[in-house]
Chains A and B, each alone.
Chain A
Amino acid sequence: MRPHRLAAGLGAAFVLTASVSTAALAQAPVCSAPVKVLAQPRDGLTLLEDSKDEFKKLSGASFQIDYLNENDRRAKSRADASTVGNYNVYYVDEANVALFASSGWIAPLTDYYPAEYDFADFDPGRQKVATYDGKVWFAPLTGGGDLMVYRKDVLQAAGIQPPKTLDELIADVPKLTNADKGMYGIALRGARGSGANVWRWMPFFKAYGGKWFDGDKPAFNSDAAVKATETYLKLFKDSAPGTQTGSWDESTGAFLSGQVAILVESTPLSGMAVDPKTSQVVGEVGFLPPPSPLPGGGYGHGLAIGTKANADDAAKKCAGLFIAWATSKENEKRRLDAHQFGELNRTSILSSKEFADIYGADLGQALAETGKVTAVNFWQDPRWPDLGDRWGIILEELVTGTRTDIKGGLNELEAYANELAKKK
């Protein structure tokens, strides 16, 4: 064989080998091990588990989701992310994303979120909640603001128009309570927690002009906080039984079983209220934005990439692919088909004809209007869960009557906030 022929042959062999290797690499699975996810129960995630094979085909590996209720999920994910890091993907929410991001427990999502999954399609409000310090940290699974959901039949029987202002709400709620017939004017959240009783109290605080901090100086020990708490406690006198130490489940459960006249709650309730599978009051429910000047509590929950379990870029890409697939348009369409209202986050789905056909124009209009008054009410800081949970305990004490001095409670919280401020 002549030398140039040998060289040409070797060159061709090299090119062929390189092409085969590139092709093999192109088809190499993105994931080498099952993706471990720590989450709280969501209908959307349960539905996702039916499509495990689809993800396996896409990535080369399956996934496993461990579920814990909200408070336990927060405690466990915090403990896991700060120590062993067993999970590739964490379910995070608006209350703890700042802590997870600033502690380096999660990675910036958009660095590993494949472009073809169109992150920009998510509702802009939810994108805002998922953003901390200029970076996006999670892809939303649920989110939104607040809506006032009310019983048309009960209000009509009492001759009351749906309240448009907070003063009207405060005046109407006692009139709607008829405990002998098992009807209560409202349902609030009494259980401790920054995402529980404090979450429902915050719109009152903001409505009266309250603010958390002025720079690093606590500013919440104010007339606004006292008035907000007094109003909250006053309304609690007409709150359904079981809600004094209950949260979302108890208050929405009371409404959906027909015991509550008016409820101002997070938007997923509206979808549940019109679904015969979850509601006993279908056909009797009306929707409006929260009575003015109550702002809606803007929130968002979603999936984020853990840093400890995903030590290298390849593992992070795998987790990013899982999150992109789990929150994709295709999977969101499946949730819409399954009438999972609270699991819808993409503009393309929320503005679709199918959505309007299922949920009607009224709800669509109320959602659009409430978007205008939705705000971030909590203190966007890693120390927020600590401060919010501390206030949650004091507020639970006030709701259940184990303490009565509102100002004393706020003084105690302020002392604690000063300690927190020193930590920064």
Chain B
Amino acid sequence: MRRRSFLPVTFLVPTLAILLVLSMVPTLYAIVIALQNRELSTPGYSWVWFSNFADLFLDRRFLNAVWVSVKWEIVTVVATMVVAIGLGVLMFEVAGPRLRNFYCLLFIIPVLLPRVSAAFVWKFAYHPLYGIATYPYRLVTGGLIFDPLSKASTALFAVASVDVWQWGLFFAVIVLKLLETLPPQPIEAARLDHARRWQIHAYVTLPMLKAPLISLMFVKMIESLRSFDLIYVMTRGGPGVATETLDMYAFSQGFIESGKVSYASAMAVLMMIATVITFTMLWKRVQA
């Protein structure tokens, strides 16, 4: 008869207990606060139960923030994956081993920059008079002014481009390395069948990389949810509320404008529930 070992339990239980405390205590505290009416400027509070949640659905800034967050997720995730796959395939097809190494090094640099630094660099690059990113427009139009961060129609895309600049290039390196790990035989077979280059990638290599590409997409989706610092530095949610995402609005209500920490917590709780449901559904769909 085999003797049962307590070693796994000895190692697992304390670690899991710490993890549970670290993750559950703040979560439960946020839920409790969301059911109260706490404000930073007053020590007293009372239980208002679901009143904060009800108020949220009548708050035009909250509804706007939900829509901006959805747009932000879609734009940044889709653009990042398109840039990553496009550049990865291009490097795989066109560049030799040495050039690939050079590009890889180059493309990793943006993601190594702290978000806040990247945001400041690009904020200045988008300056309507001095910015390098707006210079071509001034050159072509004979000096007309274009201020992408102060227009509601362009501000979100201008900030999203910085996110894609950081993560799209980094993911391109990962896609290239994934392509390099594929067995050469299926690609050779497709070439013998006179498949064009784009057909080889569309029907052979990328389907073979479906699982890691989906994982990359999930990583980006989670990362995009945490873009507070980038948006805060570049636009502070403006112009008006055009780039105000849910996390930014929650922070604004909790600490900048009103000190309504309970109201902000209610938003955080709703965000948590929405994220868990969305990711679970997507994950199940992908698994199927």
Q: Which of B143, B152, B241, B257 contacts A385 (CB 8 A)?
A: B257
Which of A9-17, A74-82, A158-166, A293-301 binds B? A74-82
> Does A32 sit at the interface, judged by CB under 8 A?
no
B28 to chain A, nearest CB (A): 19
Which residues of chain A from 72 to 90 have a CB within 8 Å of any chain B CB?
74-76, 78-79, 82-83
Question: 10 new A-B pairs (CB below 8 Å) besides A192-B236, A242-B127, A259-B129?
Answer: A74-B256, A180-B143, A182-B129, A241-B128, A245-B235, A386-B257, A397-B240, A400-B151, A400-B238, A402-B239
B236 engages A400 (CB within 8 Å): no
A385 to chain B, nearest CB (A): 7
B interface residues, tally (CB under 8 Å): 27
A173 vs B242: C-alpha distance in the bound complex, in angstroms?
29
A114 vs B151: C-alpha distance in the bound complex, in angstroms?
52
In the complex, chain A residues whose CB is within 8 Å of the CB of B203: none
A99 engages B151 (CB within 8 Å): no
A71 vs B237: C-alpha distance in the bound complex, in angstroms?
13
> Does A190 sit at the interface, judged by CB under 8 A?
yes
Given the known A-B contacts A79-B40, A241-B145, are A401 and B152 also in contact in the complex, defined by CB atoms under 8 Å? yes
Which residues of chain B from 236 to 269 have a CB within 8 Å of any chain A CB?
236, 238-242, 251, 255-259
Q: Which chain B residue shows the least CB distance to A182?
A: B129
Q: Mark B133-173, 1 if CB is under 8 A from A, else 0.
A: 00000000001010101111000000000000000000000
> Does A373 sit at the interface, judged by CB under 8 A?
no
Interface of chain B: mostly helix, strand, loop or mixed: loop
Q: List 23 A-B contacts (CB under 8 A).
A: A76-B255, A78-B259, A79-B255, A180-B143, A191-B238, A192-B238, A241-B129, A241-B147, A242-B150, A245-B235, A245-B239, A259-B129, A386-B259, A390-B257, A393-B61, A393-B241, A394-B240, A400-B238, A400-B242, A401-B152, A402-B239, A402-B241, A402-B242
Q: Which chain A residue shows the least CB distance to B145?
A: A241
> Does B181 sit at the interface, judged by CB under 8 A?
no
> Does B185 sit at the interface, judged by CB under 8 A?
no
A242 engages B238 (CB within 8 Å): no
Interface of chain A: mostly helix, strand, loop or mixed: helix
> Does A382 sit at the interface, judged by CB under 8 A?
yes
> Does B41 sit at the interface, judged by CB under 8 A?
yes
Q: Mark B208-241, 1 if CB is under 8 A from A, else 0.
A: 0000000000000000000000000001101111
Which residues of chain B from 99 to 151 have a CB within 8 Å of any chain A CB?
127-129, 143, 145, 147, 149-151
> Does A244 sit at the interface, judged by CB under 8 A?
yes
Which residues of chain A from 372 to 424 have a CB within 8 Å of any chain B CB?
382, 385-386, 389-390, 393-394, 396-397, 399-403
In the complex, chain B residues whose CB is within 8 Å of the CB of A79: 40, 255
In the complex, chain B residues whose CB is within 8 Å of the CB of A71: 236, 256
B150 engages A244 (CB within 8 Å): yes
> Does A103 sit at the interface, judged by CB under 8 A?
yes
Q: Mark B51-68, 1 if CB is under 8 A from A, else 0.
A: 000000000010000000
In the complex, chain B residues whose CB is within 8 Å of the CB of A78: 40, 255, 259
In the complex, chain B residues whose CB is within 8 Å of the CB of A244: 147, 150, 239
In the complex, chain A residues whose CB is within 8 Å of the CB of B239: 190, 244-245, 396-397, 399-400, 402
A245 engages B40 (CB within 8 Å): no
> Does A179 sit at the interface, judged by CB under 8 A?
yes
Q: Which chain B residue shows the least CB distance to A194?
A: B257
B128 engages A242 (CB within 8 Å): yes
B213 to chain A, nearest CB (A): 37
Given the known A-B contacts A241-B145, A244-B147, are A82 and B256 also in contact in the complex, defined by CB atoms under 8 Å? no
B256 engages A389 (CB within 8 Å): yes
Q: Which chain B residue shows the least CB distance to A79?
A: B255
In the complex, chain B residues whose CB is within 8 Å of the CB of A82: 40-41, 259
In the complex, chain A residues whose CB is within 8 Å of the CB of B258: 386
> Lowest 3 CB-CB distances: which A-B pairs, in order?
A397-B240, A400-B239, A241-B128
Q: Which chain A residue shows the least CB distance to B60?
A: A412
In the complex, chain A residues whose CB is within 8 Å of the CB of B129: 182, 241-242, 259
A222 to chain B, nearest CB (A): 23
Q: Which chain A residue shows the least CB distance to B61?
A: A393
In the complex, chain A residues whose CB is within 8 Å of the CB of B147: 241-242, 244-245
A71 vs B143: C-alpha distance in the bound complex, in angstroms?
33
In the complex, chain B residues whose CB is within 8 Å of the CB of A83: 40
